Chain A
Amino acid sequence: MANYTTKEKVDKLLDNALNSAAVFSQLDQKQTDKIVKAVYRAAFKNRIKLAKMAVEETEIGNFDDKVVKNIVGSFYVYEDIKDQKTVGVISDDRATGIMEVAEPLGPILAIIPVTNPTSTTIFKILIALKTRNPIIISPHQKAIGCIAEAARICYEAALKEDAPENCIQWTLDEVYDPATFDLKEHFAETNAIMAHKDLALIVATGGGGVVKAAYTSGTPAYGVGSGNVPVLIDKTADAQFAVEQIFISKTFDNGTICASEQAVVVVEAIADEVEEEFKKQGGYFLNESEVKAVEDIVLDPKRGVMSAAVVGQPALKIAKMAGISVPDDTKILMAPLDSVGNEHPLSSEILCPILAYYVKKDFSTALATCMDLNYHGGMGHSASIHSNREDKIREFAITMNAGRILVNSPSSQGAVGGLFNKLHTSLTLGCGTTGKNITTDNITIKHLMNIQRVARRRVDERLSNFDTSLFYDESLSPKEFEKKYNMNY
């Protein structure tokens, strides 16, 4: 659509999407499920090709884990949603008289990040189609090729099952070339779609800028927040197991998942054992000057946030960038720190295999440090604990400000749900109001439906037997009112 103006292009996208939404509204549950199944299978079948494309195009993360992410975005998401009712009457409670009817929302704009490009595309397409909503995919500029290909594969599979035309559209399909790509135009177009009168919802997964743009567009939006995930290792934890879980999580796709652990906080009583395990499993503890060298390369000096150059890079490469020598089997760089804050850059979120490391004398002081980390850029996101004491787990959960509290699990894979727990499988993790989001939920199909409630007549028996003239009796105290209202009930 090179000859079209931004407005014409956006109007056309939304016009197509609106027609698609209209046609989609006629499909029943069976037809809808058939489409979703076909799309999931096509995406799953192409998981390896898409993973390869994603790694080659973005140069972030690694191939093996990108394959796993595509499996999460297709198979695990499908497993989570396949049996859910999303069309017409989805529940009918004769006792309360409340019947729920699911209605689609209309055209959805999906903002796709560079860190999880193909898996997030597949995930959002599946939840949109399952709820009979057309979706417009807006790719991150550095992952256009793989995102467009994922969308195309899903769209072709959907059409074969008679899905409505244009139920999946994507805004770009030419691979990013920094020399020719018009970033300003890309942002202008995305903003125009976000503010379009016919758009029903934005599901924005990405950095703070795009999430804020979504929330200020005037269109309802689900966004995400940044994470700074602390993991507390209590003295009752199994040190070897806990460290193994942290490795599974933190090295996954070279640490690109925002729910991955950012800092380990260990209770002193178990610290020696934990440190030994980290060393054994591929953790390299940086000395003071090495911490400084790593700090110097992880931050973008202009913006004061993590540098894009380190995102999703392996530990060995980061060490090399910092000019430090580490053993060849190093998987995570461990940075011993004594406090949290801007003066310690490694206490912030950095999406690569670097872990801040704190040793605290007891559970209470460890918990306090976790809170500092949580409030240092990760509010509402996720927090993790390794403990075998229920009271400590509860205390941790009550103290943390996090949508997901993961217990004895790898936090990356735990937070996305489905693999290590029964959370809904999602690649868009709500961070609640403290993360500037409307929900702490893992975004899934229930967020993409308007639920209409049919309320059948069920009169409160107490009201039927109550003398309503007492409503106007000012001498009646609230306590007396309650007594009379609940009399013989």
Chain B
Amino acid sequence: MSIECISEGAGKTICKFDGRMDTTKCMDAERKIMQAIEGANEIVFDLDGVEYIASSFLRLCGKASHKVIAGNFSIINVTPSVKKVFKIAGLAERLNLI
């Protein structure tokens, strides 16, 4: 598992994910991510290489997005199949998929 959160200055934090973000992985990663984004002004989830997401990952995205003001959370580098998941769940716009 490789989940990495980097602070880029000016309060911007980028978290990079890859592989399968299944329930177990999300549970293991949640605390680390929530700590890493604490106090950030802008949060970016980079999903390059993510091929599967579980419900718990959708929840994690929702939780993270509430840490910053609207528009300052975004998800980038989403594969078409994962984008479809956000679309079906009706979350693509709210979570600012780019």
A contacts, CB < 8 Å to B: 18-23, 25-26, 106, 162, 164-166, 198
Q: For residue A25, which residues in chain B have a CB less than 8 angstroms away from its CB?
A: 84-85, 88
Which A-chain residue is minimally distant from B84 (CB atoms)? A25
Which B-chain residue is minimally distant from A197 (CB atoms)? B90
B7 at the A/B interface (Cβ < 8 Å)? no
- State whether A22 and B86 are in contact (beta carbons under 8 Å apart), knowing that A162-B22, A165-B23 are contacts in the complex: yes
Q: Which 9 A-B pairs have the closest CB atoms?
A: A22-B89, A22-B88, A165-B55, A22-B85, A19-B89, A19-B55, A23-B55, A19-B58, A26-B52
B53: which of A18, A20, A26, A166 is its contact (CB, 8 Å)?
A26
A-B pairs with beta carbons under 8 Å apart, 24 shown: A18-B89, A19-B58, A19-B59, A20-B55, A21-B88, A21-B89, A22-B58, A22-B85, A22-B87, A22-B89, A22-B91, A23-B54, A23-B58, A23-B85, A25-B88, A26-B81, A26-B85, A162-B22, A162-B23, A164-B55, A165-B23, A165-B54, A165-B55, A165-B56
Shortest beta-carbon distance from B58 to chain A in Å: 5
Complexed CA–CA distance, A21 and B88 (Å): 7
Question: Beyond A22-B91, A164-B55: 17 further Cβ-contacts under 8 Å?
Answer: A18-B88, A18-B90, A19-B55, A19-B58, A19-B59, A19-B89, A20-B55, A21-B89, A22-B84, A22-B88, A25-B84, A25-B85, A25-B88, A26-B52, A162-B22, A162-B23, A165-B56
Complexed CA–CA distance, A18 and B85 (Å): 10
Q: For residue A164, which residues in chain B have a CB less than 8 angstroms away from its CB?
A: 54-55
Number of interface residues of B (CB under 8 A): 19
Q: For residue B54, which residues in chain A have a CB less than 8 angstroms away from its CB?
A: 23, 164-165
Shortest beta-carbon distance from A30 to chain B in Å: 14
Q: Is the interface of B mostly helix, strand, loop or mixed?
A: helix
Q: For residue A22, which residues in chain B have a CB less than 8 angstroms away from its CB?
A: 58, 84-89, 91
Complexed CA–CA distance, A19 and B58 (Å): 8
Which B-chain residue is minimally distant from A21 (CB atoms)? B88
CB of B84 within 8 A of CB of A23, answer: no
Which B-chain residue is minimally distant from A23 (CB atoms)? B55
Which B-chain residue is minimally distant from A159 (CB atoms)? B23
Complexed CA–CA distance, A123 and B88 (Å): 25
Q: For residue A19, which residues in chain B have a CB less than 8 angstroms away from its CB?
A: 55, 58-59, 89
Complexed CA–CA distance, A25 and B89 (Å): 10
Complexed CA–CA distance, A424 and B23 (Å): 35
Complexed CA–CA distance, A18 and B58 (Å): 11
Q: For residue B86, which residues in chain A have a CB less than 8 angstroms away from its CB?
A: 22
Q: Which of A106, A162, A166 has the most C-beta atoms of chain B within 10 angstroms of its own C-beta? A: A162
Q: Which of B82, B85, B86 has the most C-beta atoms of chain A within 10 angstroms of its own C-beta? A: B85
Q: Which of A22, A164, A165 has the most C-beta atoms of chain B within 10 angstroms of its own C-beta? A: A22
Q: For residue B85, which residues in chain A have a CB less than 8 angstroms away from its CB?
A: 22-23, 25-26
Shortest beta-carbon distance from A14 to chain B in Å: 10
Complexed CA–CA distance, A198 and B55 (Å): 17
Q: Which of A20, A21, A23, A25 has the most C-beta atoms of chain B within 10 angstroms of its own C-beta? A: A23
Shortest beta-carbon distance from A26 to chain B in Å: 5
Shortest beta-carbon distance from B39 to chain A in Å: 28
Complexed CA–CA distance, A166 and B23 (Å): 13
B48-83 toward A: CB 8 Å interface, digit per residue (1/0)? 000011111011000000000000000000000110
Complexed CA–CA distance, A198 and B53 (Å): 21
Complexed CA–CA distance, A165 and B89 (Å): 13
Q: For residue A162, which residues in chain B have a CB less than 8 angstroms away from its CB?
A: 22-23
Which A-chain residue is minimally distant from B88 (CB atoms)? A22
Q: Which of B23, B82, B86 has the most C-beta atoms of chain A within 10 angstroms of its own C-beta? A: B23
CB of B88 within 8 A of CB of A106, answer: yes
Q: For residue B81, which residues in chain A have a CB less than 8 angstroms away from its CB?
A: 26
Q: For residue A21, which residues in chain B have a CB less than 8 angstroms away from its CB?
A: 88-89
Q: Which of B81, B87, B89, B91 has the most C-beta atoms of chain A within 10 angstroms of its own C-beta? A: B89
Complexed CA–CA distance, A22 and B86 (Å): 7
Complexed CA–CA distance, A125 and B85 (Å): 22
Q: For residue B87, which residues in chain A have a CB less than 8 angstroms away from its CB?
A: 22
Shortest beta-carbon distance from B30 to chain A in Å: 15
Q: For residue B91, which residues in chain A have a CB less than 8 angstroms away from its CB?
A: 22
Complexed CA–CA distance, A139 and B59 (Å): 28
Q: For residue A26, which residues in chain B have a CB less than 8 angstroms away from its CB?
A: 52-53, 81-82, 85
